Amino acid sequence: MVRPSFKPLIIGIFLFSLLLFLPSQWLLPLVNEKVVQREAVGLDSNMFQGYLIQQKMLENPTYLPIYGSSELFRLDAFHPSNYFKVNPNGFTPFLVGRGGTESLIHFLNFSVHADELKNKKIVFVLSPQWFVPQGSDESHFAPNFSVLQGYQFALNPKVNHKLVVEGSKRLLFYNVVKSDFMLSSLLEANLYSDKLHQTKARIVKPFAYGFLQVLERRDFVLSLIDLSFRKLHPKPKLTKDKSWSQLEHTAGEMAAKKATTNPFYVDNFYYETMLQPKLALLKGYKKGSSYAKSPQYQDLQMLLDVLKQAHVKPLFVSVPVNGYWSDYTGFPKEGRSQYYVKVKRKIENNGFPVLDLSEHEYDKYFFKDSIHLGYKGWVSVDKGILQFEKQK
């Protein structure tokens, strides 16, 4: 009779324990440059909800982080990642974001990476549709919320006390945070000084640190697994060593060939599948709308405060709406222009530059669809990024 061997089980428990209790900084060298390069265009949720890969990227001066939301996914030939691959200028764009990653999500991310962000140049792409009156709802916030970053923020804050209080209050607005007993107890202790809240936080803190260790080890394991399916497809014949006027002309020609069936100058496929079937219902449905009032302005201010504290050097890109489509839906020009002025003034009053693209609302083929940048739109962003990078 063969006796069962417990040696593999014992070895497994030992290795797991070793991984669990090793300091995070000891694991960082195992996340090598190849992993970071892979994630530069991967737009993997594990990366932007994690910590290690972003930390490694931010420590490398050759990367230019570009933060945004769903527009980052449209990797056409004129997208910064493809354009600067063909026309290298000493930096590599690194994309961080996906649909629904609005100001508060980026605030949390910046807060936990405040040390690595010091004196770093970054690009931040703003989307007008973030600034709706109700702010980011649960359906957009919850899938993008990082539990790891939430616990890091609560247990090891790298921002000043004022931002810890403001951030805790905003995070506790969402059910995904409130339903986490340990995390919500820690955040509530930042808001309430009474004995009940403070005692509850002290009780859960040791368990929270243990859970944070598990989350950090999970982040390490996921960092080593290649889940990225997004690859670059640069087109040197279209973009190599071309003047900006040549690029705009080529981009416009390409877009015009794909936008022949609609009066909004957007991609035919998008129009025919997403807009045309319900076109009559969408006419005038945004009458009276505005982006001038939103909780997003508070979230944006917190984000700006983190960047100021960390001495980050950002370029904010203010993306416009598609004027043709907005007019059709009845979205008032006043509600749009108020947003452009307000967001630009807020950012500039905090000492940061803005690439204001609001004059392109009616620029044909500037957009891929009703809200996202298209070929011509990315050319304007590329030009702005290059000018920004050349500044000392």
Contact between 50 and 219 under an 8 Å Cβ cutoff? The reply is yes
pLDDT at 19: 52
Q: Helix, strand or coil for residue 274?
A: helix
Residue 347 binned pLDDT confidence (cut-offs 50, 70, 90): very high
pLDDT exceeds cutoff 80 at 17: no
Find all residues with CB under 8 Å of 133, minimum gap 6, and list them: 290, 293, 294
And the tokens for 56?
A: 């490694």
pLDDT at 324: 97
The whole-chain average pLDDT of the chain stands at: 91
**Residue 354, in any domain of the structure:** yes
Residue position matching structure tokens 């900006």: 244
Burial class (CB in 10 A: 0-12, 13-18, 19+), 53: buried
pLDDT at 35: 85
pLDDT exceeds cutoff 80 at 214: yes
Give the model confidence (pLDDT) of 46-105 as tens digits.
Answer: 899 999 999 999 999 999 999 999 999 989 999 999 999 999 999 999 999 999 999 999
Contact between 80 and 381 under an 8 Å Cβ cutoff? The reply is yes
pLDDT at 25: 58
Contact between 152 and 112 under an 8 Å Cβ cutoff? The reply is yes
Find all residues with CB under 8 Å of 97, minimum gap 6, and list them: 43, 48, 67, 68, 69, 70, 72, 106, 125
Residue 223 binned pLDDT confidence (cut-offs 50, 70, 90): confident
pLDDT at 23: 59
Report, as an integer, the average pLDDT of 100-125.
Answer: 96
pLDDT exceeds cutoff 80 at 6: no
pLDDT at 74: 87
pLDDT at 225: 78
161/2 Cα distance (integer angstroms): 62
pLDDT at 20: 52
pLDDT exceeds cutoff 70 at 228: no
pLDDT exceeds cutoff 80 at 10: no
**Residue 260, in any domain of the structure:** yes
Residue position matching structure tokens 């999500």: 105
**Residue 236, in any domain of the structure:** yes
**Residue 166, in any domain of the structure:** no
pLDDT at 61: 94
pLDDT at 343: 97
pLDDT at 18: 47
**Residue 41, in any domain of the structure:** yes
pLDDT exceeds cutoff 50 at 244: yes
Give the model confidence (pLDDT) of 139-189 as tens digits.
Answer: 999 999 999 999 999 999 999 999 999 999 999 999 999 999 999 999 999
pLDDT at 24: 57
pLDDT at 226: 66
- Mean pLDDT lowest for which of 19-28, 123-132, 247-256, 372-381? 19-28
- How many domains are there within the chain? 1
**Residue 339, in any domain of the structure:** yes
The pTM of the full predicted model, rounded to 2 decimals, is: 0.91
- Residue 369: give its domain's CATH number: 3.40.50.1110
| Residue type, position 7, single letter | K
**Residue 94, in any domain of the structure:** yes
Burial class (CB in 10 A: 0-12, 13-18, 19+), 367: buried
Of the candidates 377, 358, 352, 359, the one whose C-alpha atom is nearest the C-alpha of residue 367 is 377
In DSSP terms, 95 is beta-bridged to 66
Residue position matching structure tokens 């982080």: 65
pLDDT exceeds cutoff 70 at 375: yes
Report, as an integer, the average pLDDT of 213-236.
Answer: 84
pLDDT exceeds cutoff 70 at 245: yes
Q: How far is CA 390 from the centre of its chain?
A: 24
Q: How far is CA 199 from the centre of its chain?
A: 35
In DSSP terms, 122 is beta-bridged to 314
Report, as an integer, the average pLDDT of 378-386.
Answer: 98
pLDDT at 218: 92
161 CB neighbour count, 10 Å cutoff? 9
Residue 14 binned pLDDT confidence (cut-offs 50, 70, 90): very low
**Residue 149, in any domain of the structure:** no
Give the model confidence (pLDDT) of 278-307 as tens digits.
Answer: 999 999 999 999 999 999 999 999 999 999
**Domain assignment of residue 91, given as a range:** 18-144+229-390
pLDDT exceeds cutoff 80 at 15: no
